[in-house]
Amino acid sequence: MKKVVLVSGILLSVSLNVLAATPQPSSSTLTSASDILNLPAENRRLVLETQGDKYYNRFLEIAFNEEQPMSMRWRALMAAAEAGQKKSIPDLLKAGDHKLWYMRNAALIALNEVSGTEAQKLATKLLKDKALVVRSAAVSVMDKNLTPETRDLLWDELNQKYNYKGTQSLWIRHQIVEVLAQKPFDHELKIFADLLTDKDARVQLPAVKGLEKLTGVKLGEGKMQQSALVGLWKDYIKKDKSLN
């Protein structure tokens, strides 16, 4: 019995020592915005919930400081959005017009967490951004609230020259078709059918998904190679005159 008690006491002591050794963020140890930004993501989030507003202006100073590295500026802008919430909208919109692509990208992602409405407006603007990664982020944001108007914008972007590198289709094109194929409109059937002959095979598969949803038809059995499935759909479209 004494051995059991002794062992239990040792385990309890070890457990308490381990807990005591685990670093916990507190106002006494975090003396600057940089300290907060260098915390692991989960710890940073906990601190921002209680002290974030106190460091809001400092986060912005870091975010717009050109001497800071990209990773720090990105975290600072995200932290400002989380700390300031609606108050951060004007500053995020300013960042959305920044000369550096990663600031525009971070602004869009952060704004989407703070105000879906403002994020949709900025995404519409950044859909034509010169940086591919920013355009791709804009598509992802627009996917959250597709309207007939935004669908038309995405269809228009599909074949823009800047979404190709020479004659090579860039990844954003199949991203756009994947988004539009989720809940396709009836009048888009012919557009999806035409995409079966797109030179980018990555575009063809989401086009098939759009056609399946619009027609209620599923061709092929079990797992098929993409080329075979696309071929079946090409034949189906040719035979059904109502789809031509």
Q: Which residues contact 204 (CB under 8 A, 6 or more apart)?
A: 195, 196, 198, 226, 230
pLDDT reading at 11 higher than 80: no
What pLDDT sits at residue 6?
Answer: 39
The CATH architecture assigned to 38-122 reads Alpha Horseshoe (1.25)
DSSP, res 39: S
Write the burial class of residue 234 (CB in 10 Å: 0-12 exposed, 13-18 middle, 19+ buried): middle
Q: What is the mean pLDDT of residues 90-119?
A: 97
User: Among candidates 58, 100, 99, which has minimal Cα distance to 77?
Assistant: 58
What band does 168 get if pLDDT is binned at 50, 70 and 90?
A: very high
What are the angstrom distances between the C-alpha of 167 and each of 145, 160, 161, 164, 194? Answer: 31, 12, 9, 6, 18
Across all residues in the chain, what is the average pLDDT? 88
Cα–Cα distance, 72 to 74 (Å, whole number): 5
Cα–Cα distance, 206 to 195 (Å, whole number): 9
3-state secondary structure of 40: coil
pLDDT reading at 46 higher than 50: yes
User: What is the residue whose two structure tokens read 């001497």?
Assistant: 67
Q: Which residues lie across from 22 on neighbouring strands?
A: none
User: Among candidates 191, 195, 215, which has minimal Cα distance to 204?
Assistant: 195
What band does 31 get if pLDDT is binned at 50, 70 and 90?
A: low
User: Among candidates 147, 158, 140, 142, which has minimal Cα distance to 194?
Assistant: 158
What pLDDT sits at residue 230?
Answer: 96
User: Among candidates 124, 59, 70, 67, which has minimal Cα distance to 92?
Assistant: 59
Cα–Cα distance, 196 to 13 (Å, whole number): 67
What pLDDT sits at residue 29?
Answer: 43
Q: Range with the lowest mean pLDDT among 12-16, 62-66, 138-142?
A: 12-16
Q: What percent of the chain has pLDDT over 90?
A: 73
Contact 92, 83 (CB under 8 A): no
What pLDDT sits at residue 222?
Answer: 77
pLDDT reading at 138 higher than 60: yes
pLDDT reading at 231 higher than 50: yes
DSSP 158-211: HT-GGGEETTEEPHHHHHHHHHHTSS--GGGHHHHHHGGG-S-HHHHHHHHHHH
pLDDT reading at 5 higher than 70: no
User: Among candidates 104, 54, 123, which has minimal Cα distance to 84?
Assistant: 54
What pLDDT sits at residue 49?
Answer: 86
Taking only the tens place, the pLDDT of each residue in 48-83 is 988 888 999 999 999 999 999 999 999 999 999 999
Q: CATH 1.25.10 residue ranges in the chain?
A: 38-122
What pLDDT sits at residue 3?
Answer: 41
What angle do helix axes 116-126 and 132-142 make, rounded to 10 degrees?
Answer: 140
What band does 131 get if pLDDT is binned at 50, 70 and 90?
A: very high
DSSP 2-33: HHHHHHHHHHHHHHHHHHHHS----TTT--SH
Q: What is the mean pLDDT of residues 215-227?
A: 89
What pLDDT sits at residue 50?
Answer: 85
What band does 30 get if pLDDT is binned at 50, 70 and 90?
A: very low
Query: What's the whole-model pTM score?
Result: 0.83
What band does 2 get if pLDDT is binned at 50, 70 and 90?
A: very low
pLDDT reading at 37 higher than 60: yes
